[in-house]
Chains A and B, each alone.
Chain A
Amino acid sequence: MCLGMPGKVIEITEEDGLLMGKVDYSGSVSTTCLSYCGDVEVGQYVIVHAGFAISVLDEDSAKETLEYFRQMAEEAAKDGKDILDSPLSESGNT
């Protein structure tokens, strides 16, 4: 219940005076109350908890963090080995 999930807002509607919408989690779509994120726009990502969006994710901040870490990881890899003194694996995501 407590596991919040990021999903993409694909539709915004109003139902019985509540701001509702459809949120897509990589293919599975569910109806979500958007009332707590009044300024959300279609195409943005929200964190959804038990049927309610509680935040609109800030893409700039996410990109900035990832970009910084990627650069640092690459610098570390330039020495031919990573900081743990073992070769960096080429595998993608864990």
Chain B
Amino acid sequence: MKYIDEFRDSKIAKYLIGEIDKITTRHWVIMELCGGQTHTIVQHGIDQLLPKQIELVHGPGCPVCVTPLDVLDQAIEIAKMPNVIFTSFGDMLRVPGSTSDLLKVKSQGGDVRIVYSPLEAVKIAKENPAKEVVFFAIGFETTAPGNAMAVLHAQKEGLKNFSELVSHVMVPPAMEAILSSPSNRIDGFLAAGHVCTVMGYWEYEPIAEKYKVPIVPTGFEPVDMLEGIYLVIKQLEEENYHVVNQYKRSITREGNIHAQKSISEVYEVIDKNWRGIGEIPMSGMKIREKYKTFDAAQKFNVGSIKTDESSICISGEILQGLKKPNECPAFGNECTPVHPLGATMVSSEGACAAYHKYQRYHKVGV
């Protein structure tokens, strides 16, 4: 078992599509919450294989896409500083800030380095005691455990030259924001399998109950996604609204307790601005006072930055499931992965990038 090919079995996929077809009696809108799931859907054409009444919309599940412009501008300012080594996951480098991006800073002589793990950034700090090493700690609950561990490890190693520019976001408050919006059209959710692997799914139970919406934590292969969709539709048709775990091989109800402990040791929950969406109460994380020497936002004074967002870009509506990328007039015209206008095009996990890569120029379904 390699946990990949087995879950791409076309016979099982066909069987599941047939089962979905059998039980679907009306129009349902399902939102997936993770950029990885968006890619599986578009890459395998899952949206085109399903009964016409099922509409899949793509949620705010790409952490790069929702990182606010002012944080990007802060990152760019810090990266320009002469004594700084700025470290980041690779997909943040091309995201456009107001006037520049990290890749440009690098090409203009800034020391910007891609790391695959935040622990690499800690290592760079250890090896360069005369430099300030800053790690761009962004992401959902999936990257938070690693980013928390980097702070804990730097502290254990007694490093004074390591800090994180933190812009962490959390999924459940974003779901509530979408569900409580007057323009909400979501009937059911495929919750992000790896966020739930870390956090468990108990937090989603009150949301399912309060908003009468089925929530199915789901994996990333086609068979996973089809089973997830089946489990959502079945509940909708039967008027049940619960959390049902599709991705049992990775998720438990309580999640990864060790990871959760590190997260809450290092970070505290705060109100947070999401790019394209706006402020969502209690949806972000910042470094606790106890660890403030590791907080780059406090260490480097780059407080008030004025931002300037492209006026054509509708990524905010896309991230809330109100529109699809190919409904944007700039899609594939002014806006392409080479010349992105918005973050949903620049990040490989973004919905616009997925639609562009798999050439979805036209609308499907209802």
Contacts and interface: CB of A to CB of B under 8 A. Distances in A.
A51 B349 contact: no
A28 interface: no
Contacts of B1: 45, 59, 62-63
Contacts of A77: 11
Contact of B142 (A4, A63, A91): A4
Contacts of A61: 248-249
A51 B146 contact: yes
Given A50-B143, A50-B146, A92 B10 contact: yes
A47 B222 CA distance: 17
Nearest to A68: B12
Main secondary structure of the interface of A (DSSP, over half): mixed
A81 to B, nearest CB: 10
Nearest to A77: B11
Given A26-B2, A33-B149, A73-B12, A47 B118 contact: no
B327 interface: no
B250 A55 contact: yes
Interface string A6-35: 101000000011100000001000101101
Interface string A66-84: 1001101110110000111
A73 B300 CA distance: 59
Interface residues of B, number: 66
Nearest to B122: A16
B139 interface: yes
B6 A33 contact: no
Contact of A94 (B10, B120, B198): B10
Nearest to B45: A94
A4 to B, nearest CB: 4
Nearest to A8: B2
A2 B258 contact: no
Contacts of B90: 1
A7 B227 CA distance: 23
B3 A57 contact: yes
A18 B119 contact: yes
A88 interface: yes
A93 B15 contact: no
Nearest to A64: B248
Given A54-B197, A83-B21, A2 B143 contact: yes
Contacts of A59: 1, 249
Interface residues of A, number: 49
Contact of B259 (A26, A54, A70, A83): A54
A73 B14 contact: yes
A19 to B, nearest CB: 11
A15 B341 CA distance: 43
Given A51-B146, A69-B12, A2 B120 contact: no
Contact of B250 (A47, A50, A69): A47
Contacts of B153: 16, 18
A86 to B, nearest CB: 9
29 contacts: A2-B139, A4-B197, A26-B2, A32-B117, A33-B146, A33-B149, A35-B258, A36-B258, A37-B256, A38-B258, A50-B89, A50-B116, A51-B118, A51-B120, A55-B256, A57-B3, A58-B248, A62-B3, A65-B248, A72-B15, A74-B11, A82-B14, A83-B17, A83-B19, A83-B22, A89-B10, A91-B10, A94-B10, A94-B44
Interface of A: 1-4, 6, 8, 16-18, 26, 30, 32-33, 35-38, 45, 47, 49-52, 54-55, 57-59, 61-63, 65-66, 69-70, 72-74, 76-77, 82-84, 88-89, 91-94
Closest 6 CB pairs of A and B: A51-B117, A83-B18, A73-B15, A52-B146, A6-B3, A1-B89
Interface of B: 1-19, 21-22, 34-36, 44, 61-64, 89-92, 116-120, 138-140, 142-143, 145-146, 149, 153, 156-157, 193-194, 197-198, 220, 222-223, 227, 248-251, 256, 258-259, 262, 349
